[in-house]
Structure 1
């Protein structure tokens, strides 16, 4: 399974860590991959679950997928390490948000990548330059949020930034319980603030279980969450202009 990992040295230590890197020269006639940026300003909104599940959906569609983990917590990278050897292959690039420019250069230099899915850390306000760079490169920005008031407040402000940057973006309601009044209130508020993915993702145990086994929810037999992410992926394909691929 292809893997790229770049690991930031600790800021206050002279520790030297092993770096695995696959140097591939940029190809003049290579097809430009599509970039999907999964980003919001707050932790706990489901960015990593969304990133890994959409990556798996794309891989099962026959696309060659590279995942970029820019979160210091490395949750996506740990999921990747658990991925079964016989699962559809994915490529991983891991490094700090401050290395976003390097991620862009490295991934765009790889041959035969169709889609890049970028998982971002919370606190994007702390990385304005890197955030702008990623938004400018992204073909689509997906903004996951729970129905909670604090999360909605955060992503509404983030969407204002995305609009100023002229990004193609939409909200994704995540971890929802559809019978709750909070869910309906959240949908109304998000619709007033920007585009909203017509499909939401429910709060389900099998979606959380994907982190335990290195799989996507569509790879779990009889998973109820599979239909949620399959539908979200169908929407994303349309936004990326990849529906016919």
Structure 2
């Protein structure tokens, strides 16, 4: 079972959006996916209430029960688990990182988002597991691709957490699809948002030998952009 923790020190950075869409990509790839919702705002859980498909499953859990929730997911055959954390760097986030094979830290391109990264780095250093981690740039203006690449270079030079080479744009379809309990990947996989999700998912698979063995079995994601 592969476990991805999505963490950050600030709300509104796109943690839940990233978690939902990567879990849907895994489901589209033929894997049994689970989102563990640790956020009291319960955005992932509410999204599931609007959704018809059972994959990915969403399980709401208090941070203190994360170990037991992960064990239950494994016993039910989960293959791809995403832990959606609240927007704060605390002992719960340290605990989540400790159980993860990989950590993503989504941030917006604004400076007040970037200024949270030193705190997140200290959190990762405090984790017993010290899993590999990547910063994922989120909320990029659709016409600012060149500026996004410059921002990635600046972040990569200034902070010790490596940059993911792919980003998520500020596109209405992320919100409208979530309102319907869906992902842009399910509405239009060839669209810009769908392509971004697939790129991020494939990058995720490339980071783990666990996922490399499972990725592409359905043939659906493997054939896409």
Give the structure-2-normalised TM-score: 0.84
Counterpart in 1 of 2:106?
144
Paired with 2:6 and 2:187, the residues of 1 have a C-alpha distance of: 23
**For structure 1, which segment, 173-182 or 190-199, has the greater mean C-alpha deviation from structure 2 after superposition?**
173-182
Contact 1:97/1:121, CA 8 A, preserved across alignment: no
Q: Aligned-pair distance for 1:113?
A: 1.1
**For structure 1, which segment, 99-108 or 210-219, has the greater mean C-alpha deviation from structure 2 after superposition?**
99-108
Query: Equivalent residue of 1:93, what SS?
Result: strand
After TM superposition, what 4+ stretches of structure 1 lie above 6 angstroms from structure 2?
Answer: none
Paired with 2:69 and 2:116, the residues of 1 have a C-alpha distance of: 26
Query: Residue 229 of structure 1 is aligned with which of 197, 213, 218?
Result: 197
Residues 174-218 of structure 1 deviation map (CA, whole Å, 9 limit, x = unaligned)? 110252786355313321212111111111011111221111111
Counterpart in 1 of 2:121?
159
Q: Aligned-pair distance for 1:114?
A: 0.6
Q: Name the larger-Rg structure.
A: 1
Counterpart in 1 of 2:163?
196
Q: How does 1:96-245 map to 2 (within 5 A)?
A: 96-108=62-74, 110-125=75-90, 128=91, 130-165=92-127, 166-177=130-141, 179=144, 183-184=148-149, 186-192=151-157, 193=159, 194-221=161-188, 223-241=191-209, 242-245=211-214
Query: Equivalent residue of 1:134, what SS?
Result: helix
Query: Equivalent residue of 1:124, what SS?
Result: coil
Structure 2: 5+ residue runs without aligned partners?
Answer: 215-225
Q: Aligned-pair distance for 1:66?
A: 1.2
Paired with 1:220 and 1:88, the residues of 2 have a C-alpha distance of: 17
Q: Aligned-pair distance for 1:93?
A: 1.2
Give the structure-1-normalised TM-score: 0.78
Residues 107-130 of structure 1 deviation map (CA, whole Å, 9 limit, x = unaligned)? 23x2321111110101232xx1x3
Counterpart in 1 of 2:6?
38
Contact 2:94/2:124, CA 8 A, preserved across alignment: no
Structure number having the greater helix percentage: 2
Query: Equivalent residue of 2:131, what SS?
Result: coil
Residues 135-186 of structure 1 deviation map (CA, whole Å, 9 limit, x = unaligned)? 1110000111110111111133202431453221000001102527863553
Contact 1:60/1:88, CA 8 A, preserved across alignment: no
Q: How many residue pairs were aligned?
A: 207
Q: How does 1:72-111 map to 2 (within 5 A)?
A: 72-84=40-52, 87=53, 89-108=55-74, 110-111=75-76
- 2:27 is equivalent to residue 59 of structure 1: yes
Contact 2:177/2:184, CA 8 A, preserved across alignment: yes
Contact 1:54/1:229, CA 8 A, preserved across alignment: yes
